[in-house]
């Protein structure tokens, strides 16, 4: 019996399915067939160099069988490669193949590949279809769903210092389909998988507030199987997390900034996390500095702890919420403290560079009770500092 799962993102004429399961990459053929009938004759495939060749080969075999010429570009995903220079070279590559408006872009990789491929698709000829084939747990449960695309911008500040502003340039561009083949997760190292778990834990901590009450308890019940990446549990973990994300996106596709809720809740841990993620000296293991810099999920894990402790300071949140979070993160092998942080003043300033900040305020997502969070823009600076103090090793 097939163990495949699917979740629909309900966005009317921009709606799409997320296909989940072992071996579901083969379903790309059924996704491409109607595109071929509408005239698609080329595909541009952006591949993460860490993905085993067999998956890219499978895409080539499928496109060839349909009479679609595929052209592959490979990148090694790093935050610095997620740049305007890479974007330009990808546009030049795609244009050189004669890619038409009905030809698809296919992203095979993690969040960086998906974001870059998605932004190329959103802007080339004012928009061509994109199919997201996420190969990391993080991109399966978060980045590939919901249409956020873009790249980072490196800026020089008036004092001559440089900052890497993550995802500052981008567009909402919903995919035609997301194909999350669980078999691709086998190629990930433990640290990458744990980083993906961080976004799942984030979903657990907002779940009750967005109509997915059972998610946190389900994850706690299955924490051993999840932390050991039991294959049978992975498909259900992805399905449950994608279902939460899909429902949040369906109600707030473009992250309406006047709402102080909706999609913004998915940023739990992110505003604190972004402030530390681009600090290149931070290691998730104080005894092993060579592991620096932090992976995104590690920064989010630390950011969620900081947000809980900031909420205790600002609004008297029950400390048990943060204690439970810490115990789950530790079980999942994620960091809850980090050494080498700069001053609180520097960190709060970095938060205000986050794109979720408005002119005079820093927006943060803080818990109000178990499984519920809210967005606030008036958290006292002392509370934000208390958050950073709590994760300072």
Q: Determine the Cα angle at 174 with ends 356 and 172, to 5°.
A: 30
Interacting residue with ligand GLY among 142, 253, 298, 354 (CB under 6 A):
142
One of 24, 237, 266, 386 touching ligand GLY (CB under 6 A): 266
27 is catalytic: no
Rule CB under 6 A: say whether 363 interacts with ligand GLY.
no
- 331: annotated active-site residue: no
Nearer residue to ligand GLY within complex by CB, 48 or 255: 255
Residue 339: how many other CB atoms lie within 10 Å: 13
CA 248/CA 211 separation, integer angstroms: 9
Contact 284, 337 (CB under 8 A): no
How many helices and strands (H and E) does the chain possess?
14, 11
Give CA–CA dist 276/298, Å, rounded: 10
Three-state secondary-structure class, residue 201: helix
Which span sits near ligand GLY by CB under 6 A: 77-85, 140-148, 280-288, 299-307?
140-148
Shortest gap between Cβ of 364 and ligand GLY (angstroms)?
A: 14
CA proximity to 45, closest of 127, 103, 126? 103
Q: Is residue 313 annotated as part of the catalytic site, yes or no? A: no
Q: Cα separation of 324 and 371, whole Å?
A: 11
Question: Of residues 79, 239, 253, 255, which has the active-site annotation?
Answer: 255
Stretch that binds ligand GLY, among 55-63, 141-149, 189-197, 275-283 (CB under 6 A): 141-149
**Is residue 253 within the footprint of ligand GLY (CB under 6 A)?**
no
Least distance CB 264 / ligand GLY (angstroms) = 8
Taking the complex as a whole, the smallest distance from the CB of residue 272 to ligand GLY amounts, in Å, to 15
State yes or no: is 38 an active-site residue.
Answer: no
Q: Long-range contacts for 80-86 (Cβ within 8 Å, ≥24 apart)?
A: 80/152, 80/154, 80/164, 81/112, 82/112, 82/115, 82/116, 82/151, 82/152, 83/151, 83/152, 83/153, 83/154, 84/151, 84/153, 84/169, 86/116, 86/151
Q: Is the dihedral of CA 20, 24, 25, 28 positive or negative?
A: negative
Q: Clarify whether 148 is annotated catalytic.
A: yes
Determine, following the binding rule CB under 6 A, whether residue 303 of this chain makes contact with ligand GLY: no
Residue appearing with tokens 């939460």 = 244
Give the binding-site size for ligand GLY (rule: CB under 6 A).
6
CB of 42 or CB of 296, closer to ligand GLY: 296
Is 255 one of the annotated active-site residues of the chain?
Answer: yes
Among the listed ranges 68-76, 84-92, 142-150, 162-170, the one in contact with ligand GLY (CB under 6 A) is: 142-150
Q: Say if residues 340 and 281 touch (Cβ distance below 8 Å).
A: yes
> Smallest gap, in angstroms, from Cβ of residue 359 to ligand GLY?
21
Q: Verify whether residue 259 is a known catalytic residue.
A: no
DSSP letters along 177-192, please? EEEEEGGGGGGS-HHH
Q: Which residue in the list 42, 202, 240, 245 is annotated as catalytic?
A: 245
Among 5, 27, 99, 148, which residue interacts with ligand GLY (rule: CB under 6 A)? 148
Residue numbers of the site for ligand GLY (CB under 6 A)? Answer: 142, 146, 148, 255, 263, 266
Active site residues: 126, 148, 199, 245, 255, 263, 267, 270, 274, 296
């Amino acid at each position: 019996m097939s163990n495949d799962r699917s979740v629909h993102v309900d966005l009317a004429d921009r709606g799409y399915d997320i296909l989940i399961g072992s071996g579901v990459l083969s379903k790309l053929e059924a996704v491409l067939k109607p595109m071929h009938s509408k005239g698609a004759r080329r595909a541009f495939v952006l591949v993460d160099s860490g993905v085993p060749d067999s998956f890219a080969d499978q895409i080539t075999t499928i496109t060839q069988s349909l009479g679609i010429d595929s052209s592959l570009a490979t990148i090694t995903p790093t935050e610095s490669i997620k740049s305007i220079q890479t974007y330009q070279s990808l546009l030049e590559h795609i244009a050189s193949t004669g890619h038409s408006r009905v030809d698809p872009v296919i992203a095979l990789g993690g969040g960086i590949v998906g974001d870059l491929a998605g932004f190329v698709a959103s802007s080339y000829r004012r928009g061509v279809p994109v199919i997201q084939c996420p190969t990391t747990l993080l991109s399966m449960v978060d980045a590939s769903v919901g249409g956020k695309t873009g790249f980072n911008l490196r800026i020089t500040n008036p004092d001559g210092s440089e900052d890497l502003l993550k995802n500052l340039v981008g567009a909402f561009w919903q995919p035609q389909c997301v194909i999350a083949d669980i078999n691709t997760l086998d190629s990930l190292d433990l640290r990458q998988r744990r980083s993906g778990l961080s976004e799942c834990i984030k979903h657990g901590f907002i779940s009750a507030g967005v109509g997915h009450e059972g998610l946190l308890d389900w994850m706690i019940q299955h924490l051993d199987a999840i932390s050991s990446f039991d294959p049978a549990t992975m498909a259900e973990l992805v399905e449950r997390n994608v279902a939460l994300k899909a429902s949040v996106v369906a109600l707030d596709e473009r992250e309406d900034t006047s709402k102080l809720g909706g999609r913004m809740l998915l940023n739990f841990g992110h505003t604190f996390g972004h402030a530390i993620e681009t600090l290149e000296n931070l290691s998730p293991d104080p005894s092993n500095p060579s592991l620096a810099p932090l992976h995104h999920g590690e920064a989010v894990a630390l950011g969620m702890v900081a947000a809980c402790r900031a909420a205790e300071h600002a609004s008297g949140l029950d400390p048990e919420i943060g204690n439970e979070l810490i115990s789950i993160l530790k079980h999942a092998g994620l960091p809850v403290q980090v050494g080498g942080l700069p001053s609180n003043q520097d960190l709060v300033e970095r938060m205000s560079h986050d794109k979720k900040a408005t002119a005079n305020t820093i927006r943060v997502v803080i818990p109000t009770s178990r499984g519920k969070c809210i967005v606030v823009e008036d958290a006292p600076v002392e509370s934000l500092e208390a958050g950073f103090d709590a994760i300072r090793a």
